[in-house]
Amino acid sequence: MPRPTAAQLAYGSFTVIFSTLAMLLLSQTNSGLGIAVIACAALALGVLVSLTVPQPKTRAQAAAQAAPQTAVAAAPPQRRVPVSVRRETVSAAAVSSAQPVRERSTP
């Protein structure tokens, strides 16, 4: 499991502190159970925030991400064939591979 970064620790800590204060002030609870529920909710929110902070990329990840882009850039461009040429090619291939067509006699 990777170690948390300083940004993750800071965001998570600030979230726990400020969300606890805000929920305690808004709920105006005096019971121990209410304070425990608020503290648990704030802790869960702080963990969620700290896990969603993007982690910095390592050198291996940056190199792996850059490698496919250079491979795509080095690939030769594909030739584009107009649609009319493709249709003629397909219909010519279909005619040559089809069985001979018998002519109908009109009465």
DSSP 33-62: HHHHHHHHHHHHHHHHHHHHSPPPPPHHHH
The larger pLDDT score, comparing residue 91 to residue 31, is at: 31
Residue type, 35: I
Could you report the per-residue pLDDT of 73-85, keeping only the tens digit for each?
A: 566 667 776 666 6
pTM above 0.95?
no
Could you report the per-residue pLDDT of 50-60, keeping only the tens digit for each?
A: 988 877 777 77
What average pLDDT does range 24-31 have in this prediction?
Answer: 92
- In whole numbers, what is the pLDDT of the chain averaged over residues? 78
* Torsion sign over Cα 59, 65, 69, 71: positive
Q: Are 23 and 44 in contact (CB under 8 A)?
A: no
Q: Are 55 and 1 in contact (CB under 8 A)?
A: no
What average pLDDT does range 74-97 have in this prediction?
Answer: 62
What average pLDDT does range 66-70 have in this prediction?
Answer: 62
**pLDDT at residue 60 in the model:** 73
